[in-house]
Amino acid sequence: MHSLDPRVVTLWRFEALTAVVTSWLPIYAGLGWVLGTQVGFVAAVAGIASLALFLVLRALIWPALAFRNFRYEVRAHELIVEQGVLFRQTISVPRDRIQHVDTRQAFWERWLDVSRLLVYTGAGLSADASLPGLDAEEAVRLRDQLARAGRDVDDGV
């Protein structure tokens, strides 16, 4: 089984730290308001600081754990992906079921020159399997390799 590119740890840390600053702002404000009115200013600052510290630590530690638990392999008849720290998942996507394969690069991914590979089957709800943080060239190679497999077979749809 293959690991992701180690740069993905940096990518996930950037993404998580960005979320600590932006997505959690309303929570900080709500917590600060509740603690500030009920207990006092010092308690509000301490509460927000504790939450932010916890989130920062999580943003630094969790990506390393997720990287360690993420494995994938393209086999003769399937793509197999193992992932998850607390909630573990093993996914088997038969190669002859693959409808299309996408590669995507968001802002941080372009900066680190890594890509996300998304594998879709006829299930069509969302990507059946997602390989984040692949080296950009490796992602393109994998995309072409997987996209070739599903042609001219009964896809069950």
Partner 1 sequence: MGSDESVPWRRLHPASLLVNLIPTAWRTLQRVWPLLLAMVFSKSITGLVDLILVASFFALAAVRTVLHFATLRYRFAHGRLEIQQGLISRVEQALDPARIQNVSLEQNVFHRMAGLVELRIEMAGAGSAPVDGMLSALSIPEAEALRKALGRTGAAVDAQAADVDVIDAVGLLEVVGYGVSAGRVGAAVVAIGLFLDVANQVSPGALPVQNLGRHSWAGLMLVALAGGYTLSAGGAILRFYRFRWWQSGGDFHFESGLLTRRRMDIPIRKLQLVQITEPIVRRAMGFATMLFETAAAAVPEAGGSAEALVPMVAREDVVSRVRAAFPRLDTPIDGDLLPCAPRAVGRAVLRGVLGWLGPAAGAAFWFGTPWAWLLLGLGGGMGMLDARRQGWRVTERFIVVRRGFLSRDTWVLPREKVQSVHWVQGPIARAAGLARLVVWFPGGRLPLPEIGEVEARALFASLRPTG
Rounded-to-integer distance, Cα 117 and Cα 69, Å? 18
Instruction: Determine if 124 is a binding residue for partner 1 (CB under 8 A).
Output: yes
| Contacts of 35 by beta carbon, 8 Å cutoff, 6+ apart | 43, 44, 47, 48
Rounded-to-integer distance, Cα 152 and Cα 157, Å? 13
Instruction: Determine if 65 is a binding residue for partner 1 (CB under 8 A).
Output: no
Instruction: Determine if 1 is a binding residue for partner 1 (CB under 8 A).
Output: no
Residue type, 116: R
Among 37, 88, 151, 152, binds partner 1 (CB under 8 A): 88
Instruction: Determine if 90 is a binding residue for partner 1 (CB under 8 A).
Output: yes
Among 22, 26, 38, 87, binds partner 1 (CB under 8 A): 87
Torsion angle of the four alpha carbons 33, 34, 38, 39, in this order, in degrees rounded to the nearest 10: -80
For partner 1, the closer CB: 78 or 138 = 78
Instruction: Determine if 49 is a binding residue for partner 1 (CB under 8 A).
Output: no
Instruction: Determine if 151 is a binding residue for partner 1 (CB under 8 A).
Output: no
Give me 150's structure tokens.
Answer: 């599903």
Instruction: Determine if 91 is a binding residue for partner 1 (CB under 8 A).
Output: yes
In this structure, how many other beta carbons lie within 10 angstroms of the beta carbon of residue 68? 11
For partner 1, the closer CB: 27 or 153 = 153
For partner 1, the closer CB: 30 or 84 = 84
Q: Which residues of 44-66 are buried (b: 16+ CB within 10 A; e: fewer)?
A: beebbeebeeebeeebeebbeeb
Contact stretch for partner 1 (CB under 8 A) within 2-10, 13-21, 116-124, 139-147: 116-124
**Residues in contact with partner 1 by the rule CB under 8 A:** 76-78, 80, 86-97, 121-126, 128-129, 154, 156-157
